[in-house]
Amino acid sequence: MSNILSVMTFLPIVGVLLLLFIPKGSNGALRSVALVTTVVTFIASLPILTGYQTNAEYQFVENVPWIAAGPFAMRYNIGIDGISLWLVILTTFIMPIAVLSTWTAVEDKVKEYMICLLILETAMLGAFISLDLFLFYIFWELMLIPMYFMIGIWGGKNRLYATVKFFIYTLVGSLLMLVALIYLYFLGTKTGITDFSLVHFFDLKIAPATQTWLFAAFALAFAVKVPMFPLHTWLPDAHTEAPTAGSVILAAIMLKMGTYGFIRFAMPLFPEATHQFTPLIATLAVIGIIYAALVAMVQEDVKKLVAYSSVAHLGFVMLGLFALNEQGVTGALLQNLNHGISTGALFLIVGFIYERRHTRLITDFGGLSKQMPIFAVIFMIVTLSSVALPGTNGFVGEFLILVGGFESSLRWWTIVASSGVIFAAVYMLWMFQRVMFGELDNPKNQALLDLNAREIAIMVPLLVMIFVLGVYPNPFIEKMTPSIKKVIAHTRIEPVTTAKVAVPAVAPAAEVAPADHAAPVHPVTEPAAEKPAAH
Amino acid sequence: MFDNVWLIPLFPLIGFLINGLLGKKIKNETIIGSIGALAVFSSFIVSVMTFIKLIGLPSAERSVNIKIFTWMTAGTFNADIAFLIDPLSCLMLLVVTGIGTLIHIYSIGYMHGEEGFYRFFAYLNLFVFSMLLLVTGNNLLLMFVGWEGVGLCSYLLIGYYFHKKSAGDAGKKAFVMNRVGDFGFLLGTFTLFWWLGQTHGIWTIQFTELAKNANLFPTGGVVTVITLCFFLGATGKSAQIPLYTWLPDAMEGPTPVSALIHAATMVTAGVYMIARMSYLFIRSPETMMTVAVIGACTAFFAATIGTAQNDIKRVLAYSTVSQLGYMFLAMGVGAFTAGVFHLMTHAFFKACLFLGSGAVIHSMHGALHHVHSHDDAQDMRNMGGLSKYMPMTYGTFLVATIAIAGIPGFSGFFSKDEILWQAFANPLHGSLNMLLWGLGACAALMTAFYMFRLVFMTFHGTCRIKAGAEKHLHESPMVIVFPLIVLAILSMVGGYIGLPKLIGDLVGGIPNYLEHYLEPVFANANAYMQAHTHHGHHSHALEWGLMGTSVVIAVVGICTAYVLYIASPEIPKKFTAAFPALHRAVYNKWYIDELYDFMLVNPCKSLGRFLWKGFDVLVVDGIVNGVAHVVMAFGGVIRYMQTGQIYNYAWSMTFGVVVIIGYYLFK
């Protein structure tokens, strides 16, 4: 099937259409249809995995004209490579779990809720597979709307504040990106580019000063989404107020949009600017790691604690990306997946106890291990994966990021970041201890039921992935490697040798520097070019 | 030829999976316990076979890598799941699986009737699995997997009685302090990997590759950085200053755990790691000196605390910290074989001591329970005269105590004396040697004292247990006594494989088997030491003299304990009354925990709270909400322009027309 990507992406919309025909109130049918849709989508995504060729090319490409309006020509140009492959699979993998997690949690407006979930899935998949900048932007913004409603309608007490904050934070970033995108397009048209296809722009030689501004605009949009310190304050609010499925999707997939945006767009499109911004971004990433860990340590609300731990984890991912070497980027992309699995699982776990006790305050719990042994085991495994214990997925990603960072110009940043392994253990284990260990002295906790079959079924796939990725990550890494090499080659600034698209002679030199003038402004940060540290 | 090596860690892993997943359903303690013990015993058998095969090889070929599969590859970085079989790892295999088996057997009796019996055995098997990965991993990363894995099991087993807050706290403390060490381990790995790759194009973390290229490393400089980072890791795992405070708290775990993890195996991982990378450590004089000084100071410092504790397990815990200090002292003075030797003998006698104390506690607990007393079953002030109720326990305990005190003929004497002699005579630290030896000797004095204090308070004198309870005291069942006997025998004879040359020559040329056996492992380090230091010549008379001094020290310690706790028991009370502040300080472990809380833990929490409430909420959200308020306020003003009333618009239109016309008229 040549259009498998489209089929997968729009299957959830088919589910939405079906849902429209089911009367309000028949919740069982609504849930089942949503579940079946997400499961079918997952199954539909499997041929992509099996048919994927381990090379650096975009695969399963579909490229047809879409909108032609005056000077603008947008194309429906989709495809995947090693960078988006696992994120696509992660999305289709998490969605059935998210639907199952709301089985009993959402009783009100089930139809609308499920419709939101399914639209969200299409939007997220669309964003990951878009190879046309404009198409990407459409999906990127489309994601916001269902999530806005999910938090605003099915959220907690303070949901309106949280959802407006989430929306505006993200939108401000996105709009700047839109401006940058259009500017970039006009730069491109001067050199003969006629549409928004991503590949064309890689060979565009943009003057460093211009790159700085364009990168800044893109980076702002992505940094909000990641979220990077200090743009992270929407996240704890959004997570605390969102319903469980919302938190899971937000953590497991939507945050990945930010890091994905960096590696897919901002970094390869603007290599000089990437190098210029590396110290700043690495600094913010490292501050994020330590800062979020310290703040997580003193949280009283379990969900907020997990939200802050996300900020710390994604700080690692950003550090890995900007190490700009194979180990670092591989680790970062792996950690993207790991974070999706582990933190998704953590939010599910918080959801389980919230559904039972309608509180998330750590002080309301204690000694739950005795009452809920299965829950205790699962919670423990996920906690350990979150603190990156070897043998679990978290370790492989974190280790490769740190190795990569250490080999790059970010050595000192990496050393500071490494201390994050200590803090992670402190805040996670302290929380675990206060919730699960100790005397079961709160009478309200003494009647708690252990996980039921549905809840265990939700967790098992995640637990399996925690160990699979921890013990045998190489099959995952292998599929990514060629694409990672390609991206790194794009971000490398050297006297250019690979310019294939000849720059027309009429190119205005002010904006677009000819290829042979694009001299490196920064030293190449390949390990081999570095001097040994002074000792 | 070592094709079946992977079975060694596999058996405990299977045991863990069976007991962990199905243990709750199996319920039968005998089956669960047997699965656990059998798993480790099977590993022991394979380890013995491996050992036999290994010593069948010529000495130079006794280092074999066995690759299972590629773990991860990214750019220049590659790590395999692969094992290294050499004399050092083989020795560790025998110690871990051998003592592990005994302790598993013991646990069947000791943990009888405990809630979560299956959980205990599952964790214990998982521990053995991790420990085996640690000692057989052929690269730094796999070693690190075991390294963190044993830390995890330690955490789980310390917190085994999780409903007790103190147990949960102790578990967390152990894990976090170990993580501080792990931070060092990671940085060491990064620096090592990066430096060697960067300067010589050799990107590797494999031990055999590193050893092969050891001569590429300079003296000092980057090697000092690398080895100090690794040593930080060792201080965490092996409870050395400054990261030792978790180990005494770890006694919250069941006693077999203390014996296996916190005495015989896991805590020696730091020593093993240094031995494994001896060729690196020896190349940094600064690190060697740090290791030696920290080791000697820990040996001394922990011993001082040990003299004033009343909890039987805490005495043993501080004793362990102190004995580990000896091992690091040995490492730091380049006496790698002696350090590994002491690691082994210590595993024998300390496991025996812990298990013996467990038998005592078990019996005490039962007896006190019978009379509904809430007295502390671990407090030696409630014991006394137990030898007649528990003769086997007493006998084995006494043997192990003699061994640790350093009485000639027993295993501890040979290993400890070798370390003290090397501390005195090594060519590395010059004038510092007297200090190192002095600290070690003082610690030995205190060791003999507090160990016999323990024996006297527990087994001798009058029985101080609550009246009526003594008739419920009894000897433990065979399943508990049997491991004690085996360990006591090992404590007695284990030292003869490492007979010092001085004595070996005297009794007819018995060689030091251990030194010979480990020779290829430390060959590079020893060659380097030979080439770079001037060996002073020490006379045999001096060596005999120091050995004699050691013996005298041990005897003095024992006699002092006898005088103070048997002959005239009123003296300690008078002493306490005369120096109340000193006693309080020692009893409260020199207030180190309080100092750490004050200096590190509380500031971190305050900082976290400040960043959250001060920065996140006030600054960032203040700006965000502030912008929103400004926009709203602005909109609130602007909206008056959109009143929807015609005459307002008419007015503004007129006004605008007037302004424009006026402008053109008067410009």
Is residue A423 included in any domain, yes or no? yes
Distance to chain A for B113, nearest Cα, Å:
17
Query: Which stretch of A83-87, A104-108, A251-255, A484-488 has the lowest confidence by average pLDDT?
Result: A104-108
Task: Mutate one of A325, A426, A428 to test the B interface: name it (highest B CB count within 10 A).
Answer: A426
CB B418 within 8 A of CB B326: no
pLDDT at res. B536:
67
**Nearest by CB to B183, which of A168, A418, A481?**
A418
Q: How many CB atoms lie within 10 A of CB B126?
A: 23
> What residues in B contact A390, CB-CB < 8 Å?
141, 144-145, 147-149
Assigned token pair, B591: 């207030």
Kindly calculate the radius of gyration of chain B based on its CA atoms and give it in whole angstroms. Answer: 31
> For residues B617 and A232, what is the distance between their CA atoms, to the nearest angstrom?
11
Is residue A309 included in any domain, yes or no? yes
> What residues in B contact A419, CB-CB < 8 Å?
183
> For residues B77 and B74, what is the distance between their CA atoms, to the nearest angstrom?
5
Distances (CA, A) of A140 to A161, A180, A274, A397, B46: 22, 15, 22, 26, 58
| Residue A518 confidence (pLDDT) above 60 | no
CB A291 within 8 A of CB B611: yes
The number of C-beta contacts closer than 8 angstroms across A and B is: 159
Is residue A62 included in any domain, yes or no? no
CB B127 within 8 A of CB B197: no
Does A298 contact B609 at a Cβ distance shorter than 8 Å? yes
pLDDT at res. A516:
42
> For residues A194 and A200, what is the distance between their CA atoms, to the nearest angstrom?
9
Distance to chain A for B23, nearest Cα, Å:
13
Distance to chain B for A422, nearest Cα, Å:
5
Residue with tokens 């379990």: A302
Does B186 contact A433 at a Cβ distance shorter than 8 Å? no
Note down the domain range covering A392.
271-494
Task: Mutate one of B72, B143, B627 to test the A interface: name it (highest A CB count within 10 A).
Answer: B72
- The neighbouring-strand residues paired with B78 are B73
Q: Indicate the number of domains in chain A.
A: 1
Does A327 contact B195 at a Cβ distance shorter than 8 Å? no
Does A326 contact B193 at a Cβ distance shorter than 8 Å? no
Does A530 contact B198 at a Cβ distance shorter than 8 Å? yes
**Cα B188 off chain centre by:** 18
* Packed helices B285-306 and B432-459: angle between N→C axes, nearest 10 degrees: 30
**Cα A374 off chain centre by:** 29
> For residues B105 and B34, what is the distance between their CA atoms, to the nearest angstrom?
8
Return the higher-pLDDT residue of A179 and A512: A179
Please name which of B67, B70, B66, B69 lies closest in space to residue B85, comparing C-alpha atoms. B66
List of residues 6+ apart from B615 with CB closer than 8 A? A230, A291
Task: Mutate one of B127, B160, B163 to test the A interface: name it (highest A CB count within 10 A).
Answer: B163
| Residue A506 confidence (pLDDT) above 60 | no
Distance to chain B for A411, nearest Cα, Å:
10
Assigned token pair, A389: 């214990």
CB B243 within 8 A of CB B180: yes
| Residue A519 confidence (pLDDT) above 80 | no
> What residues in A contact B619, CB-CB < 8 Å?
230
Does B176 contact A418 at a Cβ distance shorter than 8 Å? no
Residue A384 in contact with partner chain B when CB distance is under 8 A: yes
**Nearest by CB to A389, which of B71, B72, B152?**
B152
Task: Mutate one of A232, A298, A487 to test the B interface: name it (highest B CB count within 10 A).
Answer: A298
pLDDT digits (tens, 9 = 90+) for A471-480: 899 889 999 9
Residue B162 in contact with partner chain A when CB distance is under 8 A: yes
> For residues B264 and B260, what is the distance between their CA atoms, to the nearest angstrom?
5
In chain A, the residue whose alpha carbon lies closest to the alpha carbon of B617 is A233
Helix/strand/coil percentages in chain A, nearest 5 = 70, 5, 25
Task: Mutate one of B24, B73, B632 to test the A interface: name it (highest A CB count within 10 A).
Answer: B73
Is residue A198 included in any domain, yes or no? no
Q: Write down the domain spans for chain B.
A: 595-666
SS3 of A527, please?
helix
> What residues in A contact B199, CB-CB < 8 Å?
532
pLDDT digits (tens, 9 = 90+) for A236-261: 888 988 888 999 999 999 999 999 99
Assigned token pair, A427: 């805040």
pLDDT digits (tens, 9 = 90+) for A389-413: 888 998 999 999 999 998 888 889 9
pLDDT at res. A1:
55
Please name which of A405, A300, A396 lies closest in space to residue A342, comparing C-alpha atoms. A396
> For residues A279 and A285, what is the distance between their CA atoms, to the nearest angstrom?
10
Residue with tokens 């480790």: B40
SS3 of B206, please?
strand
Interface of A with B in 400-439 (CB under 8 A): 400, 402-404, 406-407, 411, 414-415, 418-419, 421-422, 425-426, 429-430, 433, 436-439
SS3 of B72, please?
strand
pLDDT at res. A531:
41
pLDDT digits (tens, 9 = 90+) for A153-203: 888 888 888 888 888 888 888 898 999 988 888 888 888 777 888 888 887
In chain B, the residue whose alpha carbon lies closest to the alpha carbon of A414 is B187
SS3 of B413, please?
helix
> For residues B361 and A148, what is the distance between their CA atoms, to the nearest angstrom?
61
Is residue A437 included in any domain, yes or no? yes
Residue A340 in contact with partner chain B when CB distance is under 8 A: no
Is residue A413 included in any domain, yes or no? yes
Does B198 contact A389 at a Cβ distance shorter than 8 Å? no
Mean pLDDT by 10 residues, chain B (667 residues): 85 91 83 91 93 87 87 85 91 92 91 85 92 92 91 88 84 87 91 89 88 86 92 91 86 88 88 92 91 93 88 91 93 91 92 92 86 82 84 91 89 90 84 89 92 89 79 84 91 85 78 85 87 77 86 90 83 80 77 77 80 79 81 82 80 90 87
Q: What is the pTM of this model?
A: 0.86
The helix (run of H) or strand (run of E) holding residue B64 is strand B64-74
Is residue A442 included in any domain, yes or no? yes
Distance to chain B for A111, nearest Cα, Å:
33
Is residue A330 included in any domain, yes or no? yes
Residue A533 in contact with partner chain B when CB distance is under 8 A: yes
Q: How many CB atoms lie within 10 A of CB A357?
A: 16
The helix (run of H) or strand (run of E) holding residue B122 is helix B117-136
Does A535 contact B616 at a Cβ distance shorter than 8 Å? no
Average pLDDT, chain B: 87
C-alpha neighbours within 13 Å on the C-beta side of residue A306? 31
**Nearest by CB to A437, which of B141, B149, B168?**
B168
List of residues 6+ apart from B543 with CB closer than 8 A? B421, B425, B502
Residue B301 in contact with partner chain A when CB distance is under 8 A: no
CB B282 within 8 A of CB B529: yes
> For residues B187 and B287, what is the distance between their CA atoms, to the nearest angstrom?
15
pLDDT digits (tens, 9 = 90+) for B464-513: 877 777 788 888 888 889 999 999 999 988 888 888 877 877 777 788 88
Distance to chain A for B459, nearest Cα, Å:
35
Residue B631 in contact with partner chain A when CB distance is under 8 A: no
CB B454 within 8 A of CB B402: no
Find the DSSP H helices in B333-459. Answer: 336-370, 391-405, 411-425, 432-459
In chain B, the residue whose alpha carbon lies closest to the alpha carbon of A417 is B183
Residue B225 in contact with partner chain A when CB distance is under 8 A: yes
pLDDT at res. B494:
85
Distances (CA, A) of B187 to A427, B597, B663: 22, 25, 74
Q: How many CB atoms lie within 10 A of CB B569?
A: 14
**Nearest by CB to B175, which of A419, A429, A471?**
A429
> For residues B399 and B488, what is the distance between their CA atoms, to the nearest angstrom?
6
Residue A158 in contact with partner chain B when CB distance is under 8 A: no
Residue A468 in contact with partner chain B when CB distance is under 8 A: no
Distances (CA, A) of B589 to A134, B583, B598: 67, 10, 15
pLDDT at res. A494:
60
Q: Which backbone phi and psi does A371 adopt, to 5 degrees?
A: -85, -30
pLDDT digits (tens, 9 = 90+) for B231-270: 999 999 998 988 888 888 888 888 999 888 888 888 999 9
